[in-house]
Structure 1
Amino acid sequence: ANIVGRMWSKACTFLIIIFCVIVQYNVTYAKRILVISNLPSYSHQMSYRGLCLELHKQGHEIVSITTNPIQNSSLTNYTEIDISYFYKGFPEFKSLPYLGSNFHLTTVYLNLPLLEAERNLIWIVAHVLNQEVFKNPEVKKLYATDSNEHFDAIIVAQGPTISLNAFAYRFNAPLIGVSSLDVFNHLRYTFGSLILPSHISNWQINKPNEKNMSFWRRLVNFYEVWKQMYSWMNEHVAIEDAIAKKYLGEDLPHINDITRNMSIFLVNRHPAFVHGKPEQPNVIYYYGSHITKVPDALPKNVKQFLDDAKEGFIYVSLGSNVKWEELPNNTLEAFVDGFSTLPYKIIWKLNPDLLSRKYKNILTLQWFPQQTILAHPNIKLFIYQGGLQSTEEALYYGIPLIGFPIMWDQTYQVQNIVRLGIGVHFQFDTISKETVKATIHEVMSNTSYKDQMQRWSKIFRDSPYDSLQNAVRWIEYVIRQNGTPFLRNDLCDDPWYQRYDWDIIGFLAILLFIVFLISLWALFLILRFHLRIISHSLW
């Protein structure tokens, strides 16, 4: 009995030690992280959610300000501040140019060049959304002067959202940026990174770039991009700075200075698909964080419809932001007429009420589990709007594409799938029943699209490391170091004219011009001197 008692005592002591070690580990290594993503767009929010859940899986406490909360009560140490009401818009939107009383982004993008839409609409909408984050009652409790809230890192979804970066200063925590698109040009300027107006990687341009463009085309690009940078730095940055100071105090450093001190910038792009270019040292790529390894089950009626598609089926979706009813009148009709005569079944993310009647080969619903559909063995083709997250999903499952871009970066993404040979660009100004059928026939009958997609799908899936876990390790590294200023690009401290040696180029250009003028004057004097000699000799 004594032996058993001693063994039991030792076992209890061992368990207590193990328990203390675990508790100490959690206290030492589990960190509290604030994540802010205020863009009301489902697809973009999903890429941020994947990162949050992975951080939580690693034992960190998450406080997420999001428009798409998970609302899962079983998640402990995972707090969400629900700002889903952002989807409804705000009264300020009604007075914005181009929108009038209706907030229709689809219509706006169809009628405005990309840079003008950014400058005169998207950035202004962002100012409203950013201010509404500060005005949220739960957020106010976080940053109140008498608040005892503490965070070890602040992760902010980047874009025209730099006023939100001020939370890093408020909580004296490292700032970490994250983007569901790419690095924005106005952020490149702030970071001192290279801005390449005519490089094929530049998606923020009115007309997508190509290789070997003419001088005049590059001159237009140069003017448009730097005009955009001027507008951002001299108009919109001041608004963002004023928003941050209004709620966090006038003694706040300038918002650009806070943004420049960003420790790392997590960009949701696969390195193989971003066009090789110089990048700032603190950019970390991660990708596919929203892709579920085990897709959700299909509704019974949808599963039956797809299982019966012996000739295969086509999936059609323009994402969560583009509305079919906001497209020109003949667009929906052209697609319906083209689809209804195909031998393939069509599964279409569309309000069923928009169709005048039912079609035997067409199934429409307002929502589908997209990844489950893309994983179905009978799928032949994906017609989509060119969204980055949908592009990643198509690459993961190896489905050829037809891109029908409408807004923002979508034309760039579709141009990229054409360059890779994995899909075609369906031109908006050529829509008809015949072109719909012809474009589908081109991709279905030409096996090169499927072959190329399989090749690039293999590249997308094969990686030397898990990019999402790599992003988490970088976040943990930033927290351990309490910031990584040594990754900062020092060019951001230089005036704009020194970054590219424009002052030297300008000086040399003026010098050469002066030398040219002096040479002309000298030539004129020499010529006049000789003329005088000749005239005297004749007399």
Structure 2
Amino acid sequence: MISLKSIAAALWFLACVTNYVESAKILAVFPFPGPSQYICVQSYLKTLAARGHEVTSVSAFPQKTPLKNFRDITIHIDQSHHDEAVISAIEQIAVGKLAELQFAKEYTSLTSLLVFNNEDFQQLLHSDEQFDLIIIEVFYQDALYALGKHFKAPIIGVSSFGADIVIDQLVDNVSPLAYVPAPSGMNMDRMNFWQRLDNLYANTMELLYTHLEIIPEQQRYYEKYFPNATLRLTDVRRDFSLLLLNQHYSFSWPRPLVPNAIEVAGMHIENKLKKLPTDMEAFINASSRGAIYFSLGSNVKSALLPKQKLQEIMNAFASLPVNVLWKFEKTDLAGKPKNVFINKWFPQSDVLAHPKVKLFVTHGGMHSLIEAVHHAKPIVGTPVFYDQYLNVEKAVYKGFGVGINFRNFTSTELRDAILEVLNNPKYTERAREISASFHDRPMNPLDTAIYWTEYVLRHKGAPQLRVAARHLNFLQRHSVDTMAVLFGIPLLLAIFLFYGVFQVLAALFSSNDNAHKKRKRD
């Protein structure tokens, strides 16, 4: 009997044959020092190379073994400096919204300069080499968006955490503030008055800081590294052919998207599962009530946590009736409980796919949340910074997770949260429902990303996808000029008529008053 997956694969193959596109030269720029952003696109870029496109990847994470059609330009970073920056970010962001934005500016300025000052990249920039397509991470690195005009190629943006009000501007998408929350907040799409006020504040701060601080700094980089450019940076940053967004309405909410903003959450997940290492497999199977997996992601390292917090975590795990796999970046951990297995790295998606892994204790990074949804696993979330708070809040709101405060949780709070999710089947049932919705798509997310990428290549930038708002200034785009006429003229007429009536009445009263005075004199 032919399976649905076989039919879907055949249809996808037919689509690829029908929508054939010639081999293209692609420049992909993903300079962030943390690996999570590159994890988002690694399978995507490798698939483009496997389909015959020549991919040049600018990143801090070169391929360990050479790939056909794949060239690396390596951005060299000091990992210790990156770790210090993450620790600093955790402390700064706790201060407030402005501190969070200041960190974003410092971090993205650093990554922009890492690219521009790279010798191999500079050689490429000043060479005669041509590209058919530019693919770039979109997060406050506006000067790098000029690569599209520099190489006379369409540009595709990838956002590893989804859309926000600033990213929306790149394709003139809209974010109605009444029901589209800022990713840096904790509001859901159904907000009361105070939450809408908070959402207005967060989005206004992001817009103002972006246009008054970040873009002026990126403008200086733009002028320095693209001295022959003729367009303003504000025009360059609104010249994207396509946005690939690492989000999906199944675990967040429906929201407006223009045709060239495509949801591709899950494109980093390989559909073919790999067998777990023998020791991991044995440790999971040794737990009669199943096992749980704990990771703080690739940026926040468990090994760098304060001793007191580590002790609280170990105390919580030691009191559990299940085995725990813990991503821990050192080979030893003093006082490690017997039911805990530590390792510097775990094949996270394959671990979560294991039927005996019942729960994911996570920092709430977007990739981790997506993998939990993909494999229908409930979570206990302990967010650290930026969009992680909202990601965990989504899981709580949707009913497949519980959240605790990373900064001050106790071992009892962590244990109780884990046992609540393990012992109450409603969390797993809800995770399965949301996972089913997540998987119910015409094409899987990686195939979707490849299709629309090659669509842009086939249609030479695909201008038919782009809304006309990019040709309008602020006043035109928001109908301020037409509303001024529509409401201004009647208002002026009303004022004029009111003034005229007032003048007539004043004259009338003045005439009557004079007549009355005259009669009194007589």
Native 8 Å contact 2:26 2:56 kept in 1: yes
Partner Cα distance (1:28, 1:193) in 2: 28
* Percent of residue pairs bearing the same amino acid type: 29
Which has the higher mean CA deviation after the structures are superposed, 493-502 or 461-470? Answer: 493-502
Partner Cα distance (2:89, 2:147) in 1: 32
Partner Cα distance (2:332, 2:85) in 1: 19
TM-fit CA distance, 1:329: 5.8
Match for residue 85 of structure 1 among 72, 77, 81: 77
In structure 1, what residue type is equivalent to 2:227? G
Partner Cα distance (2:40, 2:407) in 1: 32
Say whether residues 1:111 and 2:128 are aligned partners: no
Say whether residues 1:211 and 2:193 are aligned partners: no
TM-fit CA distance, 1:151: 0.7
Which position in structure 1 is the counterpart of 2:289?
Answer: 311
Secondary structure (helix, strand or coil) at the match of 2:250 reads helix
Partner Cα distance (1:190, 1:410) in 2: 23
Native 8 Å contact 2:242 2:260 kept in 1: yes
Which position in structure 2 is the counterpart of 1:16?
Answer: none
TM-fit CA distance, 1:250: 4.0
Say whether residues 1:275 and 2:253 are aligned partners: yes
Match for residue 216 of structure 2 among 238, 258, 265: 238
Which position in structure 1 is the counterpart of 2:341?
Answer: 363
TM-score, structure 1 normalization = 0.82
In structure 1, what residue type is equivalent to 2:45? C
Secondary structure (helix, strand or coil) at the match of 1:64 reads strand
User: In the TM superposition, what whole-angstrom CA distance separates every residue of 1:276-323 from its partner, at most 9, and x where no partner exists?
Assistant: 121122112223222123334433332221121112111111101123
TM-fit CA distance, 1:55: 0.8
Change (3 A) 1:426 1:365: same
Say whether residues 1:197 and 2:185 are aligned partners: no
Native 8 Å contact 1:177 1:264 kept in 2: yes
Match for residue 22 of structure 2 among 24, 29, 32: 29
Secondary structure (helix, strand or coil) at the match of 1:348 reads strand
Partner Cα distance (2:306, 2:337) in 1: 22
User: In the TM superposition, what whole-angstrom CA distance separates every residue of 1:317-370 from its partner, at most 9, and x where no partner exists?
Assistant: 110112336556643322211111111111111245784313111122222221
Match for residue 37 of structure 2 among 38, 44, 48: 44
Say whether residues 1:461 and 2:436 are aligned partners: no
Which position in structure 2 is the counterpart of 1:425?
Answer: 403
Secondary structure (helix, strand or coil) at the match of 1:249 reads coil
Change (3 A) 1:188 1:324: same
In structure 1, what residue type is equivalent to 2:469? L
TM-fit CA distance, 1:210: 5.5
Native 8 Å contact 1:69 1:84 kept in 2: no
Say whether residues 1:398 and 2:376 are aligned partners: yes
TM-fit CA distance, 1:234: 2.5
Counterparts of residues 151-162 of structure 1 (less than 5 Å): 151-162=131-142
Partner Cα distance (2:312, 2:285) in 1: 27
TM-fit CA distance, 1:465: 1.6
Secondary structure (helix, strand or coil) at the match of 1:277 reads coil
Partner Cα distance (1:398, 1:506) in 2: 52
TM-score, structure 2 normalization = 0.84
User: In the TM superposition, what whole-angstrom CA distance separates every residue of 1:493-533 from its partner, at most 9, and x where no partner exists?
Assistant: 43334433456778969959x97xx89x98xx99xx9xxx9
TM-fit CA distance, 1:427: 2.9
Native 8 Å contact 1:404 1:426 kept in 2: yes
Say whether residues 1:166 and 2:149 are aligned partners: no
TM-fit CA distance, 1:103: 5.6
Alpha-carbon RMSD across the aligned residues, in angstroms, is: 3.5
Partner Cα distance (2:172, 2:240) in 1: 12
Native 8 Å contact 1:107 1:327 kept in 2: no
Partner Cα distance (1:109, 1:198) in 2: 28
Counterparts of residues 486-505 of structure 1 (less than 5 Å): 486-501=464-479
Say whether residues 1:140 and 2:122 are aligned partners: yes
Counterparts of residues 292-371 of structure 1 (less than 5 Å): 292-324=270-302, 330-351=308-329, 355-371=333-349
Gaps of 5+ in 1: 1-26, 91-98
Match for residue 120 of structure 1 among 97, 102, 112: 102
User: In the TM superposition, what whole-angstrom CA distance separates every residue of 1:169-225 from its partner, at most 9, and x where no partner exists?
Assistant: 1111111111111123213235432233342443133x43462412x4433432342
In structure 1, what residue type is equivalent to 2:449? A
Change (3 A) 1:458 1:84: farther
Which has the higher mean CA deviation after the structures are superposed, 350-359 or 254-263? Answer: 350-359
Secondary structure (helix, strand or coil) at the match of 1:336 reads helix
